[in-house]
Structure 1
Amino acid sequence: MSETTRYQHFIGGEHVAPTSGEYFPSINPATRNVLYEAARGGADDIDRAVRSARATFEDPAWRDLSQTKRGHLLRRLGDLIGENAEELARMESSDNGKLLREMRGQLAGLPEYYLYYAGLADKIHGSVIPTSDRSVLNYTKREPLGVVGAITPWNSPLTLTTSKLAPALSVGNTVVIKPSEYTSATVLRLAELVLEAGFPPGAVNVVTGFGAEAGQALADHRDIAKISFTGSTATGARIAANTASRFIGSTLELGGKSPNIVFEDANVANAAMGVVAGIFAAAGQTCIAGSRVFAHRSVYDELLERVTERARTIKIGDPLDEATELGPLAFEDQRDKVAGYVDLGRSEGAKVLTGGNATDAGLGGFFYEPTVLVDVDNDMRVVREEIFGPVAAIMPFETEEEVVRLANDTEYGLAAGVWTSNLSRAHRVADRLEAGTIWINTYRAMSPMSPRQGFKNSGVGVEHGTETIKEYTRLKSVWVNTSEDPVADPFVLRS
């Protein structure tokens, strides 16, 4: 990528210039240098992409393709991603500032998502339902929805696009993707690999641009059968209202303010590393960030010392450097948002134990120091609102009952961590925590086989696992009268 690179939309298997003729720059957050320009899409571009996707969905070449052959295409796509992993990792690291070493890890595991749904493709079936009339056959079948609109974020573009794309394609849908305006490049490259894998043109289309223009047009389009969105709770609420008014489905993976709980019998050294991983990995720019840390008072000082000391030694710098442990925030407004929240925390009475400053790390970029806040309570805005940056608020607690109450006292319910050596307590607390994913003595573990769902304001619907197949299919019930006898009373309901 360079400042002279200009990316077009990808529609119907071709690179297509924007109707407006306009482009916008993408900035390397580590250096502020322009990486490339991307097409600025609007309603006309979205309409073209949806029409292309709809035509492919109705084309017998895709519609009548066997489930097993769809699985073969997904396997080939997974293989191509693996073959191009280094290129994709470097592109994404430059685009959003994630560590290259982390992106290499993500890319190593990304083909597994496609392989998983490839294996699942020909195992999606209905069932035969018993009826009181033995001459009537009733069976169910799952069918694809049609054209799925996917609106994806900037923090993990390839992984979070894959969470939508792989299951949607496995059941026979076609897809139009609107990636974040901050991270268009890797999603466009992924669309090229989809075509190279053998999927028909129009099966996957990408329109780049801004949320208020391209994203809104996609969510509003009359031929979209479903919207799958990952992003802020406020935007998700608008999409939910929009789709509900049109009686189409939506899967929404939204914000979080996840608790990470350390009990008195925990391995404190391991728990401290779990806290660090939960909030400082990916510079805290993850919806599952363990941003509220609760430590039992008997281990509070030790945990605080360990986390603070590690935070002070985290190496900030170029995300392409293998030695770097913390890269930049993805864009300037996000860095400013994080800085604003830390200043708000100070005004609320919080003490900054370490960090608390913006920096350019000598590169000119949008960096923010790993920050630990203490003297905080669960009522402060800095503790209640999602910051989406490397800021941990650490609080003591006395009893299990108290910490469960505090952990659940939030509008979010995406994830939670529990650190304890007491197996009974681990299961007991996991049962009581109001979150869709609970990690015990670990954090940030993920698999395509394991479903995840947000509770409360963290979202609607399921991603990953077999359960997500229901998100991308509709259920049809078929009744067949096998009897040749004359029809009985036409005014009596048959069963």
Structure 2
Amino acid sequence: MELPTAIPDAQVECTQLFINGAFVNASSGKTFPALNPANNKKLADVQEASPADVDKAVAAARAAFKPGSPWRRMDAAQRGRLLNKLADLVERDIAYLASLECLNNGKPYQFAVGDVHSAINFLRYNAGIADKIHGRTIPVNGDFFCYTRYEPVGVCGQILPWNFPLMLTCMKLSAAIAAGCTVVIKPAEQTPLTALYLAKLTVAAGFPNGVINVVTGYGNVGAAISGHMDINKVSFTGSTEVGQLIQQAAGKSNCKRVTLETGGKSPLVIAEDADLDQAALIAHNGLMFNAGQCCIAASRLFVHESVYEEFCKKSVELAKKRTVGCPFKCLDQGPQIDKEQTDKIMELIESGKKEGARLLCGGGKIPGPSDLYVQPTVFADVTDNMRIAKEEIFGPVQQILKYKTLDEAIERANQTHYGLAAGIVSKNVDTIQKFAQNILAGTVWVNTYAVVAPQTPFGGFKMSGMGRENGVEGVLAYCEVKTVTMALPEKLS
């Protein structure tokens, strides 16, 4: 894929709240800084929404969803055309959006471009589903005609994380729009800039006012969305702790529908028959991608005892080759997102050292224009009770555990509160099938890792969340099913 020319000095165009088709200031007059983690410099001052602004956005979305409104009367195929038009505009502005993401998030430019391409794919995939949401007829008995309707759930709050800002915004937005819902989007306070620019593009695409709204700010904004009586569904991607709060708020308010993706501590099993060069590369990319800031990261690596030391050696070689630096110049890894995350990573690295894990490489910071660059780190001799084996680190820290039998690996892999993803590298189909059937995870990868597509349902078991996004299931999650039963006229004699 040829990269579009980067714009390292891209100017921030959109900093206001987007409500009812217009950019407006926050009611409080407050702003907050959007920072560049690569150098800790301010990119722009962004409007800081309050619960009062959430009320305005929800009112706009509710008005747009009213029966008889242009949005509710719109043909489903036209909703798809609007999403495709939005995809065209995102594709037109790919260099600007990727550069803005690179500046605000810190990921290397080539990966930011890949994220924008993924965003486009989500928009186009769900555009194609918009006019293919079908009910069915149900035989009851000869006196009745019964059928089902899939209807949009209503106004949806969508609360986004900072690790894949534009891609996940387009993923959630396009599914809700395909179903016919209206949305109030809350981007992460660390990375609001691409969501605001996307809002500008929705105007150019022709979306009716109020269908898409964006409110930027802190946790009080997300809390206001989660507990709002006029929001019918909330979709959240982020930490388990915040997901629990959202579920509680949704239940205490109006029992709104909830979809949660709340992280993971995903196992990757390396079988004794695996090609070790291939396995080491799969494991390396599965953990180090996006500076380890990935919910599906292969952060518990179970390696068979017969190949353990050789695998560790190959993992260290890959980690030492990894480049870390300026996101517009470095091919592999930029800074972590902010000081809070970096401090958490470093604290967990220290816990690994203290609890007896063998540090093979890394373990510190790299001097740079900000204090957020972390060395690619590899630990061996990790045991299940160590914090680094139990807690989601969300950084470039690989933990390698040893196992003897497949049954043991599966049992230990399942001994976690999480269940988002898992993987196995093996040449034996029986090994593969046994693992896939017995592992408790929403996604299982075989001889690969972290392959996510708009067509594939995505979500977690246990405390990794509830519900599914992507695929047809992801769109139907924004629908209610209505059953209609009609008495038939008496049969003619």
Report the TM-score when normalising by structure 2.
Answer: 0.95
- Residue aligning to 1:34: 42
Aligned equivalents of 2:226 and 2:326: distance in 1? 36
- Residue aligning to 1:145: 153
Secondary structure of residue in 2 paired with 1:372: strand
Q: Which amino acid aligns with 2:224?
A: A
Give the superposition deviation at 1:481. Answer: 1.4
Give the superposition deviation at 1:124. Answer: 0.4
Q: Which amino acid aligns with 1:259?
A: P
- Residue aligning to 1:156: 164
Contact 2:126–2:178 (Cα < 8 Å) also in 1: yes
- Residue aligning to 1:107: 116
- Residue aligning to 1:166: 174
The answer to whether 1:339 aligns with 2:346 is: yes
Aligned equivalents of 1:117 and 1:2: distance in 2? 30
1:4-403 to structure 2, matched below 5 A, reads 7-58=15-66, 60-132=69-141, 134-211=142-219, 213-245=220-252, 246-321=254-329, 323-360=330-367, 362-403=368-409
Contact 2:14–2:196 (Cα < 8 Å) also in 1: no
Contact 2:83–2:123 (Cα < 8 Å) also in 1: yes
The answer to whether 1:459 aligns with 2:465 is: yes
Give the superposition deviation at 1:365. Answer: 4.1
Residues 113-122 or 228-237, more deviating: 113-122
Give the superposition deviation at 1:220. Answer: 1.4
Contact 2:270–2:279 (Cα < 8 Å) also in 1: yes
Aligned equivalents of 2:84 and 2:14: distance in 1? 30
1:405-420 to structure 2, matched below 5 A, reads 405-420=411-426
Contact 1:158–1:186 (Cα < 8 Å) also in 2: yes
Aligned equivalents of 2:277 and 2:165: distance in 1? 32
> CA offsets per residue over residues 86-133 of structure 1, 9 Å max, x none?
11111111111111111111222321211111111111011111012x
Secondary structure of residue in 2 paired with 1:149: strand
Contact 1:2–1:34 (Cα < 8 Å) also in 2: no
- Residue aligning to 1:489: none
**Residue 441 of structure 1: which of 447, 455, 461 is its match?**
447
Say if 1:363 and 1:324 are closer, same or farther in 2 by CA, change over 3 A: farther
Secondary structure of residue in 2 paired with 1:122: coil
Aligned equivalents of 2:202 and 2:276: distance in 1? 45
Contact 2:14–2:193 (Cα < 8 Å) also in 1: no
Contact 2:65–2:155 (Cα < 8 Å) also in 1: yes
Aligned equivalents of 2:131 and 2:420: distance in 1? 31
When the two chains are superposed, the root-mean-square deviation of aligned CA atoms in Å is 1.4
Secondary structure of residue in 1 paired with 2:399: strand
Aligned equivalents of 1:283 and 1:350: distance in 2? 21
Aligned equivalents of 2:382 and 2:310: distance in 1? 18
> CA offsets per residue over residues 427-486 of structure 1, 9 Å max, x none?
11111111111110001111100001200110000000011122100011111112259x
Q: Which amino acid aligns with 1:70?
A: R
Aligned equivalents of 2:94 and 2:386: distance in 1? 42
Aligned equivalents of 2:177 and 2:193: distance in 1? 21
Q: Which amino acid aligns with 1:92?
A: E
Contact 1:3–1:34 (Cα < 8 Å) also in 2: no
Aligned equivalents of 1:144 and 1:60: distance in 2? 14
Give the superposition deviation at 1:60. Answer: 2.1
Secondary structure of residue in 2 paired with 1:177: strand
Secondary structure of residue in 2 paired with 1:199: coil
> CA offsets per residue over residues 194-237 of structure 1, 9 Å max, x none?
221111111110000001x2111111111000000000001101
Give the superposition deviation at 1:4. Answer: 8.6
Contact 1:413–1:458 (Cα < 8 Å) also in 2: yes
Give the superposition deviation at 1:6. Answer: 7.0
Contact 2:265–2:297 (Cα < 8 Å) also in 1: yes
Give the superposition deviation at 1:424. Answer: 1.8
Identity of aligned residues (%): 42
Give the superposition deviation at 1:253. Answer: 0.5
Q: Which amino acid aligns with 1:386?
A: E
Aligned equivalents of 1:227 and 1:110: distance in 2? 20
- How many residues are treated as equivalent by the alignment? 481
- Residue aligning to 1:490: none
Contact 2:223–2:249 (Cα < 8 Å) also in 1: no
Q: Which runs of 5+ in 2 are unaligned?
A: 1-8
Secondary structure of residue in 1 paired with 2:213: strand
Secondary structure of residue in 2 paired with 1:7: coil
Q: Which amino acid aligns with 2:16?
A: Q
Which stretches of structure 1, 4 residues or more, deviate above 3 A after TM superposition?
A: 1-6
Q: Which runs of 5+ in 1 are unaligned?
A: 486-495
